[in-house]
Amino acid sequence: MKWNELHSDACPVARGLSVIGDRWTMLVVRECFLGIRRFDAMQSRLGITRHVLADRLRTLEADGVLRREAYQDRPVRYEYRLTDRGKALYPILVSLIDWANAHVPLEGESAVTLLSRSTNQPIAPMLIDRNTGEDITTRTVRAVMNEPVPPQDG
């Protein structure tokens, strides 16, 4: 199977990754969340090749995660902004930051910390179920597949 065929896979993990699971893609999204909107700024900050950046921006736009907007004419130049679909990636990004800060240590402290705007203290992200208020863990939640699949447990 080829990577590109995942887009129509039955599993949402596969479909999600077909959009954001490519090398560099989530880093481009990170730039957008940080307010970086322009090609050259992204390129020099990320150290990605222009070639690949152009491809990622095109793909993210096609998938409705970013939208391209002219910010000047003569010559016309475009910048990239998150759509609502793109903004909805925030929980993934926050969970990733939290995981990496805890589990992919770097000498010295982490260069990005998330602070609560109300307390100015670092946040401790936690996933809960809006319906029940319960913490979401492998013990409180189970995955059901519409097609049957072998046993489970982590």
Site for DNA in 56-75 (CB under 7 A): 57-58, 68, 74-75
Residue 47 found at the interface with DNA (CB under 7 A): yes
Residue 24 found at the interface with DNA (CB under 7 A): yes
Cβ-based neighbour number of residue 140 at 10 Å = 11
Token duo for residue 65: 């995660």
Supply the minimum distance, in Å, between the C-beta of residue 64 and DNA: 17
d(CA 12, CA 107): 35
> Judged by CB, which is closer to DNA: 31, or 79?
79
Interface pick for DNA out of 45, 50, 128, 134 (rule CB under 7 A): 50
- The residue type found at 112 is V
Token duo for residue 103: 């589990």
Reduced to 3 states (helix: H, G, I; strand: E, B; else coil), residue 31 is helix
d(CA 27, CA 55): 13
Contact partner at residue 35 from DNA, a copy of itself, none, CB < 5 to 8 Å by partner kind: a copy of itself
> Judged by CB, which is closer to a copy of itself: 76, or 102?
102
Contact 14, 21 (CB under 8 A): no
Residues that bind DNA (CB under 7 A): 1-4, 22-24, 38-41, 47-52, 54-55, 57-58, 68, 74-75, 77-80
